[in-house]
């Protein structure tokens, strides 16, 4: 066993449902997917919340379910519309997997999410956390839903030094939490752990122990060690990529290109760009060779941080005498840019400038 929990720690963990359920029922934040619970809403919200804070996800969630109120609507939505709904949320593979899973649900489960943990786990984009969250919150099935918030809380409560970055440790925590699930209110219990981790036993800064319902049993608090937990692998340094980004405008239209099918932001639209910095004269020279006169101005620097990569971008506003043919580019109007083509938030700053140029 990697967790190596003492019998005392196990006893403490067993006290959690009794302490957390009443606290959760009084303190749970109001969220649209909690107000009108449905398996579909639970699924969409859990996928959105994987990399996004509740405050940021709420607007996206409401827009998403208004546009795609059922699983069948999600399965049938064109990719571009789906990406437009997801625009700005990042981690776009989540949206692609939602659609793939919706297609499977329509083919094999009558367009509904099954009340079956294993079947949920087999869907694209659904790991043990999401399957456990849907199974317990939507169907009251006795499965844990263990995310980073939960791992932080239980590591502190039990003073457990096992490295939560190791998949085997997470698995053992899932087993340990499965063994303490309450008979009634399993969905609320899972949510109470997540909520406590988000609001009280928070990730950044000191935990708010004096406001915590676990203060009398938490070993991390009692032994003043809470901030030593959880133990996790040090973050890998991000790779830095320098890019030149081109805001190309001609005849009231802007140029967009599409990223390749693999890798970062796969298949999404973007502003044309190339690696490294580019001198404005070189940009002018490039278009002169095509027989097009170009006015080039610097459009400022921007930075965007992905999980493993950081983009440091240098923008150039380029007004062209006329559009030019390039199989990798499309020319779109301001209206197309607003309503049709999703642009990743990495280009947020330049997008605004581009819209002002149109």
Q: Does 76 bind ligand SF4 (CB under 6 A)?
A: no
Can you read off the two tokens belonging to residue 312?
Answer: 């440091």
Helices (H), 228-358: 280-289, 334-339, 348-357
| 8 A C-beta contact, residue 87 and residue 342 | yes
Give the nearest distance from C-beta 339 to ligand SF4 in angstroms.
Answer: 45
Give the nearest distance from C-beta 231 to ligand SF4 in angstroms.
Answer: 14
Instruction: Report the site for ligand SF4 in 156-175 (rule: CB under 6 A).
Output: 156-157
Stretch that binds ligand SF4, among 45-53, 202-210, 297-305, 344-352 (CB under 6 A): 202-210
Residue with Cβ nearer ligand SF4 (114 or 213): 213
| 8 A C-beta contact, residue 126 and residue 117 | no
Q: How many residues bind ligand SF4 (CB under 6 A)?
A: 15
- Which of 102, 200, 249, 299: binder of ligand SF4 (CB under 6 A)? 200
> How many Å apart are CA 215 and CA 208, to the nearest integer?
10
DSSP secondary structure letters along 66-97:
HH--SHHHHHHS-HHHHHHHHTTT--THHHHH
Give the nearest distance from C-beta 169 to ligand SF4 in angstroms.
Answer: 18
Contacts of residues 131-136 at CB distance under 8 Å and 24 or more positions apart, as own/partner, are 132/174, 132/190, 133/42, 133/46, 133/190, 134/39, 134/42, 134/43, 134/46, 136/181, 136/186, 136/187, 136/189, 136/190
Residue with Cβ nearer ligand SF4 (8 or 140): 8
Q: Does 15 bind ligand SF4 (CB under 6 A)?
A: no
> How many Å apart are CA 97 and CA 108, to the nearest integer?
16
Q: Does 320 bind ligand SF4 (CB under 6 A)?
A: no
Residue with Cβ nearer ligand SF4 (99 or 156): 156
Give the nearest distance from C-beta 196 to ligand SF4 in angstroms.
Answer: 7
Q: Please state, in angstroms and as integers, the Cα–Cα distance from residue 162 to each residue in 82, 214, 228, 229, 232, following that order.
A: 40, 21, 12, 9, 8
Give the nearest distance from C-beta 214 to ligand SF4 in angstroms.
Answer: 4
Stretch that binds ligand SF4, among 150-158, 235-243, 260-268, 344-352 (CB under 6 A): 150-158
Q: Cα 117 vs. chain centroid, distance in angstroms?
A: 22
Give the nearest distance from C-beta 188 to ligand SF4 in angstroms.
Answer: 18
Instruction: Report the site for ligand SF4 in 209-268 (rule: CB under 6 A).
Output: 209, 212, 214-215, 218, 220-221, 226
46 catalytic per annotation: yes
Annotated catalytic residue: which of 46, 87, 159, 172? 46
Q: Does 201 bind ligand SF4 (CB under 6 A)?
A: yes
Q: Indicate the SS3 state at residue 110.
A: coil
CA neighbor of 209 nearest in space, from 232, 194, 225: 225
Q: Does 5 bind ligand SF4 (CB under 6 A)?
A: no
Q: Does 20 bind ligand SF4 (CB under 6 A)?
A: no
Q: Please state, in angstroms and as integers, the Cα–Cα distance from residue 156 to each residue in 58, 84, 214, following that order.
A: 29, 40, 11
> How many Å apart are CA 65 and CA 73, to the nearest integer?
10
Binding site for ligand SF4 (CB under 6 A): 153, 156-157, 200-201, 207-209, 212, 214-215, 218, 220-221, 226
The catalytic residues are 46
């Amino acid at each position: 066993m990697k967790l190596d929990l003492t019998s005392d720690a196990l006893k403490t963990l067993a006290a959690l449902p009794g302490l957390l359920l009443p606290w959760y029922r009084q303190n749970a934040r109001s969220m649209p997917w909690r107000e009108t619970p449905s398996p579909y809403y639970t699924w969409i919200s859990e996928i959105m919340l994987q990399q996004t804070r509740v405050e940021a996800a709420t607007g996206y969630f409401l827009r998403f379910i208004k546009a795609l109120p059922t699983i069948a609507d999600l399965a049938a939505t064109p990719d571009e519309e789906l990406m437009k709904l997801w625009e700005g949320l990042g981690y776009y593979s989540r949206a692609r997997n939602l659609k793939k899973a919706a297609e499977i649900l329509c083919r094999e489960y009558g367009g509904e999410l099954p009340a079956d943990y294993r079947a949920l786990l087999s869907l694209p984009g659904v790991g043990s956390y999401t399957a456990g969250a849907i199974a317990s919150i939507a169907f009251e099935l006795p499965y844990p839903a263990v995310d980073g918030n939960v791992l932080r809380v239980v590591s502190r409560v039990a003073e457990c030094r096992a490295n939560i970055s190791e998949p085997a440790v997470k698995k053992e925590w899932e087993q340990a939490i499965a063994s303490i699930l309450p008979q009634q209110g399993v969905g609320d219990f899972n949510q109470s752990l997540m909520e406590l981790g988000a609001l009280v036993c928070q990730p950044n800064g000191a935990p708010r122990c004096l406001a915590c319902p676990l203060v009398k049993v938490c070993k991390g608090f009692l032994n003043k060690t809470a901030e030593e937990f959880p133990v996790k692998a040090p973050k890998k340094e991000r790779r830095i990529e320098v890019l030149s980004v081109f805001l190309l405008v001609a005849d009231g239209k802007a140029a967009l290109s599409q990223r390749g099918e693999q890798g970062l932001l796969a298949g999404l639209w973007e502003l044309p760009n190339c690696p490294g910095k580019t001198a404005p004269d070189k940009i002018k020279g490039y278009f002169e060779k095509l027989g097009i006169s170009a006015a080039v101005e610097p459009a400022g620097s921007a930075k965007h941080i992905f999980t493993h990569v950081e983009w440091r971008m240098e923008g150039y506003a380029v007004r062209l005498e006329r559009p030019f043919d390039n199989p990798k580019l499309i020319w779109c109007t301001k209206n197309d840019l607003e309503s049709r083509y999703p642009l990743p938030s990495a280009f947020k700053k330049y997008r605004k400038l581009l819209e002002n140029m149109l």
